[in-house]
Structure 1
Amino acid sequence: MITYLKGSLVALITPMNEYGAIDQISLNKLINYHIESGTTAIVIAGTTGEISTLTHEEYYKLVTWSIEISEGRIPIISGISTNSTNEAILIAKRFNDSGVMGYLIVTPYFNCPNQKGLFYHFKAIAENSDLPQILYNVPIRTGCDILPSTVARLANIKNIVGIKDATGDLKRVNQIQELVSDNFILLSGDDESALDFMQLGGKGVISVTANVAAKEIAKICTLVARGSLAEARCLNKKLIPLHRNLFYETNPIPIKWACKVVGLIEKDTLRLPMTSLKKSGRLILKKALLHAGLI
Structure 2
Amino acid sequence: MLQGSIVALITPMTGDGQIDYTSLQNLVDYHVRSGTQAIVAVGTTGESSTLDTEEHISVVRHVVKYAAGRIPVIAGTGSNDTAYAIELTQALANSGVVAGLSVTPYYNKPSQEGLYQHFKTVAESSELPLILYNVPGRTGCDLLPQTVARLAEIPNIIGIKEATGSLERLQEIKACCPSDFLLYSGDDGSSCEFMLQGGHGTISVTANVAASQLNTMCQCALAGDREQALAADQPLRALHQALFIDSNPVPIKWACHAVGLVANGQLRLPLVSLAQDKVPELERALESAGVKVGE
TM-score range, shorter chain: over 0.9
Is 1:38 aligned with 2:35? Answer: yes
Q: How many residues align?
A: 292
Matched-pair contact (CA < 8 Å) for 1:245–1:288: yes
Q: Deviation digits for residues 141-175 of structure 1, max 9, x if unmatched?
A: 00010000000000011110000000111111110
Match of 1:208 among 205, 209, 226: 205
Q: What stretches of structure 1 of length at least 5 have no aligned partner?
A: none
Query: 2 CA distance for matches of 1:118 and 1:220?
Result: 33
Map of 1:52 onto structure 2: 49
Q: Distance in 1 between matches of 2:118 and 2:236?
A: 37
State the TM-score, normalized to the length of structure 2. Answer: 0.98
Q: How far apart are the structure 2 equivalents of 1:252 and 1:90?
A: 25
Unaligned segments of structure 2, at least 5 residues:
none
Partner of 2:155: 158
2:231 aligns with 234
Q: How far 1:178 sits from its partner (Å)?
A: 0.6
What residue number does 2:175 align with? 178
1:192-203 to 2 correspondences below 5 Å: 192-203=189-200
- Describe how 1:114-125 pairs up with structure 2 within 5 A: 114-125=111-122
Q: Is 2:92 the counterpart of 1:95?
A: yes
Q: Give the SS at the match of 1:78.
A: strand
SS at 2:176 equivalent:
coil
**Counterparts of 1:165 and 1:226, CA distance in 2:** 21
Q: Does residue 18 of structure 2 align to residue 21 of structure 1? A: yes
Aligned to 2:133: 136
Distance 2:141 2:227 in 1: 36
**1:213 Cα offset (Å):** 0.6
One-letter amino acid of the counterpart of residue 19, structure 2: I
Matched, 1:113 2:110: yes
Structure-1 separation of matches of 2:62 and 2:166: 35
- SS in structure 2 opposite 1:178? helix
CA contact 1:52–1:81 (8 Å) conserved in 2: no
Give 3-state SS (helix, strand or coil) of 1:19's partner.
Answer: coil
Q: Which amino acid aligns with 2:200?
A: K
Amino acid at match of 2:57: Y
CA distance in 1 between counterparts of 2:256 and 2:169 reads: 31
Q: What amino acid is the match of 1:21?
A: Q
Matched, 1:277 2:274: yes
* Matches of 1:289 and 1:79, distance apart in 2: 27
Question: What is the RMSD computed on CA atoms of the aligned residues?
Answer: 0.8
Query: Deviation per CA, 1:195-224, whole angstroms, max 9, x where unpaired?
Result: 111111100000000000100111111111
From 60, 64, 80, the counterpart of 1:63: 60
**Superposed displacement of residue 276, structure 1:** 0.5
Please tell me whether the aligned partners of residues 41 and 76 of structure 1 are also in contact (alpha carbons under 8 angstroms).
yes
Matched, 1:293 2:290: yes
Where do residues 73-84 of structure 1 align in structure 2 (5 Å cutoff)?
A: 73-84=70-81
- Number of the residue aligned with 1:244: 241
Q: Which aligned segments of 4 or more residues in structure 1 are displaced greater than 6 angstroms?
A: none
User: TM-score under structure 1 normalisation?
Assistant: 0.98
Q: Is the contact between residue 11 and residue 48 of structure 1 (CA under 8 Å) also seen in structure 2?
A: yes
CA distance in 2, matches of 1:82, 1:228: 38
- Structure 2 residue aligned with 1:190: 187
Q: In the alignment, residue 280 of structure 2 is paired with which amino acid?
A: L
Write the distance in 2 (CA, Å) between the matches of 1:209 and 1:244: 9
Secondary structure in 2 aligned to 1:288?
helix
Aligned AA (1:46):
G
